[in-house]
Amino acid sequence: MLERTGIPTRAELEEILPDEKRLEEGPVAIFECFREIPCDPCYYSCPVGAVKEFSDLNDLPEIDYDKCTGCGQCIAGCPGLAVFVIDYTYSEDRGLIGLPYEFTPLPREGEMVMALDRSGEEIEKAEVIRVRQNRKQSNTPVVWLALSKENLISVRHFHRMEAGDSDEE
Amino acid sequence: MWRNSAGRVICVQRCDMAVVGGGPAGLASVIKAAELGVERIMLLERDEFLGGQLVKQTHKFFGARDEYAGMRGIEIAEHFQERIDELSAIEVKKGAVAQGFYEDDVLGYTHQGRFKKLDPERLLLATGASEKMLTFANNDLPGVYGAGAVQTLMNQYGIIPGEKVLMIGGGNIGLIVAYQLLQADVGVAGVVEAESGIGGYSVHATKIRRCGIPLYTEHTIIRAEGEEEVEGAVIQKLDDDWQPVEGAEKRLDVDTICLAVGLAPIVDLAIQAGCEMAYIPEFGGDVPWRDEDMRTSHEAVFVAGDAAGVEEATAAILEGELAACAMARDLLGEKSEIMEEKTRARDKLNVLREGPVGDEIRSGLERMRRDIDAGEDRYSHQSRA
């Protein structure tokens, strides 16, 4: 149970994931927003209208995955840091994940970092592809990592590795 | 003309509206009142800066976009400060500590070393809340902090409280401050919560869990260890009846214990003003009874924000605006603009509290109505007419 563990169950995840066909088509936003709280910035952050307008402020967000382009604006817009973008089409052998990262210093593009899952377990080394920060202070930096496709569904965070560790760079 | 018992003239400053407390509720109220045309507004703030707890809130706020959702607390404080600078009806006194509210409806406060008196037509108490303490062995050791103190040290003054912290309390404050500690590169040994699940928003819990921080639900702290200062903490599992499970002790190597075990409304001025009080556990303890406009049983005294019941900043802002509208109506009459703004603020409060996270507040409001219908005043023990 999410309240006990701080980690969503498999059933909760399946509830919010787009179907496999959509996942294979290209980048798409994953809203890991499981509990109704009064909140609506994701609606305003989406430039293509893929987040349905809230009729009740406390509703969970509803996403139109056909409209979603995976641009990642919602990653920076979500106050709960609960939105991610995953892309299975990034390259032959690697996928791409965009995640919110409110730690300093920000990683450099090209740097190797340690990707972590929802419980902070180390999953694999990943390459930082892009780092984006909107000029508005309130917007959360978004870091895009390339890693193996099978881990796109489990990786949700990363930590920078010790200086001695990053010899792959 | 005011004279004391010796016949000496006492200088009392008159104003239309006075607000005690420059946090989200107080700031929102003076701005709204000035916008509605109230003049001679006096804002008293104990600290040398405005914003209250907002200045420590580095995270983005939830809520509706119209009510600053997506902005960080520190940005909201700056926004309010800029707006106040534009409004000439508002006089801000920083470093001004309210001392008492007297029978002749005079508010006493100290400012720059002097005791001063204020006679406001309408008074808003937006004094916020104070942190609750938790009983465990050695809880007086240096290194045991309230979460507010940790935020003040870290987020306002850039001082880290220690190297490794154990957070007690899985409400929003505990979860948020645990995350802020991680952002400041301070180790967090875990978050301890006596209930079977965290009380705060699950998105705050997932943020710290993916950093590898454990959640010790159904656990409590039983003692701090150390001679001169905190050198460790011992936590213990609780059974279904909240009794410690023998043998299920765990020692954690920490130098700081941070308590985030709830807040209690600061209501001293309301009690002194003779406001009828009600004990509402959902609001954090004793609060002045108030009507739908945030007016207490004292016609000239209003309450808003955590002092009216511990909730969160967006609700405090809306309560401050609601109270400002009601005070503006008292002072300026039933203008349509005032009445529209009042309805708007109340509707937005209702929307905010409509969902599952508003359950407690709605239950508290219900209890307040019920108790008032049935009961007698908690302090004066007089039945309510």
- Every domain of chain B and the residues it spans: 2-130+263-374, 139-259
- Using 50, 70 and 90 to split pLDDT, how confident is the model at A168? very low
Predicted confidence (pLDDT) at residue B374 exceeds the cutoff of 70: no
Element of type H or E holding A87: strand A83-87
Cα distance between residue B123 and residue B28, in whole Å: 14
| Structure confidence at residue B52 as a pLDDT band (50, 70, 90) | very high
Is the Cβ–Cβ distance between B208 and A119 less than 8 Å? no
Asked if the structure places residue A169 within a domain, the reply is: no
Partner-chain residue, chosen from B64, B65, B203, that has the shortest CB–CB distance to A33: B203
Q: Is A49 on the interface with B (CB under 8 A)?
A: no
- Determine the length of chain A: 169
- Alpha-carbon gap: B288 to the closest alpha carbon of chain A (Å): 26
Q: What is the pLDDT of residues A66-108, one digit of tens each?
A: 999 999 999 999 999 999 999 999 999 999 999 999 999 999 9
CATH number, domain B139-259: 3.50.50.60
Say if residue B254's pLDDT is above 70: yes
**Residue of A102, A145, A156, A162 to mutate for B, most B C-beta atoms under 10 A:** A102
A28 assigned to some structural domain: yes
Tell whether A142 is covered by a domain: yes
Residue contacts between A and B (CB atoms, under 8 Å)? 135
User: In the prediction, which pLDDT does B373 show?
Assistant: 59
Domain range B2-130+263-374, CATH class: alpha beta
Domain that holds residue A18: 2-162
Asked if pLDDT for residue B218 goes beyond 50, the answer is yes
Report the residue from B64, B197, B207 with minimal CB separation from A4: B197
The per-residue pLDDT for range B105-133, each reduced to its tens digit, is 999 999 999 999 999 999 999 999 999 99
- Return the half-sphere exposure (C-beta side, CA atoms, 13 A cut-off) of residue A62: 8
A139 within domain boundaries:
yes
* Count of structural domains within chain A: 1
Q: What is the structure's pLDDT at A167?
A: 42
For residue A155, the chain B residue with the least C-alpha distance is B210
Average pLDDT taken over every residue of chain B? 94
In a domain, A105, yes or no: yes
Query: What average pLDDT does range B33-54 have in this prediction?
Result: 97
Beta partners for residue B44, in sequence order: B20, B93
In this structure, how many other beta carbons lie within 10 angstroms of the beta carbon of residue B217? 22
* CB spacing of B60 vs A32 below 8 angstroms: no
The verdict on a CB contact (< 8 Å) between B206 and A44 is no
A33 contact residues in B (CB cutoff 8 A): 203
Contacts 24+ apart (CB under 8 A), B72-79: B72/A137, B72/A138, B73/B313, B75/A137, B75/A138, B76/B24, B76/B51, B76/B313, B77/B27, B77/B50, B77/B51, B77/B52
**Interface subset of A 52-111, CB within 8 angstroms of B:** 56-58, 77, 79-82, 102-104
- Contact at CB, B62 and A58, closer than 8 angstroms: no
Closest listed residue to residue B324, CA positions, set B128, B129, B123, B105? B123
ipTM of the complex: 0.94
**Considering only alpha carbons, which residue of chain A is nearest residue B170?**
A3
